[in-house]
Amino acid sequence: MNEHEETARILVEALPYIQRFHGSTIVIKYGGNAMAHDDLKRAFARDVILMKVVGMNPIVVHGGGPQIEELLGRLNIVTRFVGGMRVTNKETMDVVQMVLGGLVNKEIVSLINDNGGMAVGITGKDGNLIRARRMELTETNEGSVVSEIIDIGQVGEVESINHAVLESLIDRDFIPVVAPIGVGQNGESLNINADLVASGIAQHIGAEKLILITNTPGILDVNNDTIASLSRKKAAVLISQGVIEGGMLPKARCALDAVEGGVQSAHIIDGRVPHALLLEVLTDSGIGTLIGERST
């Protein structure tokens, strides 16, 4: 097959997926290496724009942990982690808002706009997009039967989503870019894990897909081979067996929660691969791991 025939084959292969997902909402958690390298950032922006141009409705939710860590270090603000969550006092929260709602969010918006798209950046505080409650972590000391509640400060979890905010942007052909900062019960800002926000938005808005961009090929089996697809039941079994563990565990749970909450499929893909989004959405083979009701 020559170069022209291969190009034509790829375009024809994409056609049924373009038709199938036309008008569908796809929530994308953007993070990891895909945010750190210029070529991958440009590929991501073009993928999102192409999805929009062919009739899909992408919503981007981004992280920014490394950028937050860098600024905290420059300001000599020491933070600690409990259960994988950053303990967030008021001083730290101010930095989180500066980085996520300002620096990172606007960089992604500019990236998409500079490549021909129309993106609008918002935080979960805009229009009360993300109502959140404070996250409580519990810890049981050795030899004790009583759990201790650990105060991790202004860290939250999604309580509800004002989907009208996102729908108004989508209806005007904008690509929403969401910083994962929520509004607490008393109006305070809460720092929320971006995977949790993406999963919550996907469920509340009735998305077709949730896509989590990571630094791994997907969910791995006991032989470290990528699992192409999983049913909800099989994913839950692998979690209970400890096959899914470490940093992949919270991502797998977010994906599983999304599917159980009505999202048709959730995908964990490798953001180190250029154009990973298009490879997952518009090709037969896909890339990474798909979790869905009808998967094997």
Question: Do residue 47 and residue 179 come from a single domain?
Answer: yes
Q: What is the CATH number of the domain that holds 147?
A: 3.40.1160.10
Quote the crossing angle between the two packed helices 248-260 and 232-240, to the nearest 10°: 150
pLDDT tens digit string along 253-281?
999 999 999 999 999 999 999 999 999 99
Structure tokens at 32: 């990891």
Domain tally, the chain: 2
Torsion of CA 46, 50, 52, 55, to 10 degrees: -170
Give domain status of residue 2, yes or no: no
Residue 184, classified by CB atoms within 10 Å of its CB into exposed (0-12), middle (13-18) or buried (19+), is: middle
Find the mean pLDDT for residues 205-213. 96
What confidence tier does 147 reach under pLDDT thresholds 50, 70, 90? low
Give domain status of residue 12, yes or no: no
Taking the model in full, what pTM does it have?
Answer: 0.92
Q: Is the pLDDT score of 204 beyond 90?
A: yes
Domain that holds residue 202: 22-207
